[in-house]
Structure 1
């Protein structure tokens, strides 16, 4: 009898242990590998989504890698090294022009303006774009969105980048700031927080914003292969919902509050610089407040690419942009 009671008690213990485990199985965690083109305060909402637990709330375990460059990011996506890419939307157009069988689809926009600033070596009290003529300008890599948006802004103000400037474009992205710091160029095109750091240290002075000059465009978007959306529609929806929550959070909180959340991603940058950078981007509406990439922005992107001579061919909006997921998330 005692032996039977022991067996019954053991079975009871096993049963009560199995039930919670079975319940946990219903809430499976899905891993999603993101490749970001660079580490930037410009991508603040993405870091907020991670740090505030918005991805975790959706049952997603996000693994973030900095893939350093548009070409490398797209290669990682196409070769299944990552699931989702955070990169300029122009890369999806380049892939499409090469006749990809599995096109890359933009499904959630993160930033909606250029993120660079014009930095002058000398302090200029009354800046005019004409001051750039005949100067040495340290620009961004040819074919990338910063360079194209930069040239668009220059032409808008009557400056031919190839004729009116001593234009330097053969410096790698990672070495542009050090090159300017060491004495190369009278003007340079820089992202935050480098622009604010240079201003604080007296290396340069911010005189204009390329984001303001070039208008709204899908500067950086989350994208993935069409097959991934088809096979993992629920995951993509959860991902987009987390990003939307983060976009709304950043929009409704101060730059200081956002800086406090994302500071761990920028260990070598002072908190006041992070806050200043977030404030600049908020003031010029660089952070998209929702994940929808609209037709007007898409057209502006292609117009800028065309003006720079980098548009291989016009890409159909409906073929490379999926707004149905974002719209569903926003309607909830």
Structure 2
């Protein structure tokens, strides 16, 4: 396993004044970990808030933001040892647990309560939006088996549509090319995360509704790590969970303008007004968790979703304790 690099901040030397002897400030050890997020999105705003407000620094943790462009790629990097902690869909933990990999991973904190993607169309939205109106339409979706693909299928199913017969879901467009493809005319509708929703609206397209609201609360993105890493560095994993918990509490009630200011450095191409708008949009949809806890009920609902979509055989559900390590978010609450 790749060794985690530890960086020691040099202790400052206090210069003696007023006849006092010089004193050495206590050195603070900071651990530089390797981290990967599935994509870079305003949907993950509590993560960036935790960075901006120094919550990770308070816990002695530092890392760079690297986007893996898909939970499958993030999980491969995690299992390969080039990443210590990752943000990905919770289904990846189940896939690994039921797979042949000798290395297993665990969820240790949750970030989002449901799908934060928004359905975007080419005409102004009707209120309330009727998912059944998508019958016969082409929808630009995501990789089959991924969280956004599963949630889109569930939203369609709840509206009485068969995702395989009543609509055509396009799943073969790479993540970096999705916005351009949709703006060029691919599909009638598409599901996108912020800040892409804002970009599409600026290009004359229209956000219709939030996918997660149609599905309900099922943990959507979580923080994961290898079991071996958790066992070797529990203090790092615990500190990471505490930093996220602080950010989730703050972003839930802070003024939108303050949140926008905290996020601005991570989304330089988005204006302060647009950032504040996305904060309100996410809050209204109820997609951000207010605590990092991942419950047994949420894991059961996720596995029911996987079984219902043919990604797991019925009866093969994995026990909660083989998916989630709750000790860290329990301590953070």
Q: Deviations over 1:238-260 (max 9, x none)?
A: 11111111111111202221111
Aligned to 1:320: 323
Residue 168 of structure 1: aligned partner: 170
Pairs within 5 Å for 1:15-34 = 20=24, 23-24=26-27, 27-34=28-35
Check conservation: 1:197, 1:273, Cα contact below 8 A. Answer: no
> 2:218 is matched with which residue?
217
Specify the alignment match of 1:276 in structure 2. Answer: 277
Contact 1:119–1:188 (CA under 8 A) maintained in structure 2: yes
Q: Specify the alignment match of 1:121 in structure 2.
A: 122
2:11 maps to none
Q: Which deviations, in whole Å up to 9, do the C-alpha atoms of 1:178-233 show, x marking residues without a partner? A: 1110011111111122223322331x212221110111112111110111111111
**Aligned mates of 1:168, 1:131 — CA distance in 2:** 18
Superposed CA deviations along residues 33-87 of structure 1, whole A, max 9, x for unmatched, are 2110110001111111111111111122223222221122111111111110101
> Which of 202, 218, 222 lines up with 1:200 in the alignment?
202
C-alpha deviation, 1:269, in angstroms: 1.9
Alignment of 1:103-118 (within 5 A): 103-118=104-119
Following the alignment from structure 1 to structure 2, what is the Cα–Cα distance between the partners of residues 55 and 219?
22
> By how many angstroms is 1:160 displaced?
0.8
Counterpart in the other structure of 2:13: none
Per the alignment, in what secondary structure is the counterpart of residue 257 of structure 1? Answer: helix
In structure 1, the residue matched to 2:287 is 286
TM-score using structure 1 length? 0.89
In structure 2, the partner of 1:12 is none
Query: By how many angstroms is 1:315 displaced?
Result: 1.8
User: Root-mean-square deviation (CA), in Å?
Assistant: 1.7
Q: CA deviation at 1:124?
A: 4.0
Residue 166 of structure 1: CA displacement?
Answer: 2.6
User: How many residues are matched?
Assistant: 310
What is the aligned partner in structure 2 of residue 304 from structure 1?
305
Alignment of 1:34-49 (within 5 A): 34-49=35-50
- Native 8 Å contact 1:50 1:62 kept in 2: no
**Equivalent residue for 1:186?**
188
Residue 125 of structure 2 contacts residue 207 of structure 2 at CA under 8 Å; is this kept in 1? no
Aligned counterpart, 1:86? 87
Runs of 4+ in 1 over 6 A off after TM superposition: none
1:139 corresponds to which residue?
141
Displacement of 1:321 in angstroms is 0.2
Counterpart for residue 256 of structure 1: 257
Partner of 1:7: none
Report the Cα distance in structure 1 between the residues aligned to 2:260 and 2:319, rounded to whole angstroms: 37
In the alignment, is the contact (CA less than 8 A) between 2:131 and 2:155 conserved in 1?
A: no
Indicate if the aligned counterparts of 1:89 and 1:106 stay in contact, CA closer than 8 A.
yes
Specify the alignment match of 2:245 in structure 1. 244
Kindly indicate whether structure 1 or structure 2 has the higher relative contact order, using CA contacts under 8 Å at least 6 residues apart: 1
- Greater helix percent: which structure? 1
Contact 2:112 2:220 in 1 (8 A): yes
Which structure has the bigger radius of gyration? 1
Structure 2: runs of 5 or more not aligned:
1-20
* Separation in structure 2 between the aligned mates of residue 75 and residue 226 of structure 1, nearest angstrom: 15
Q: Cα distance, 1:302 vs. partner?
A: 1.2
Structure 1 distance, partners of 2:226, 2:300, is 21
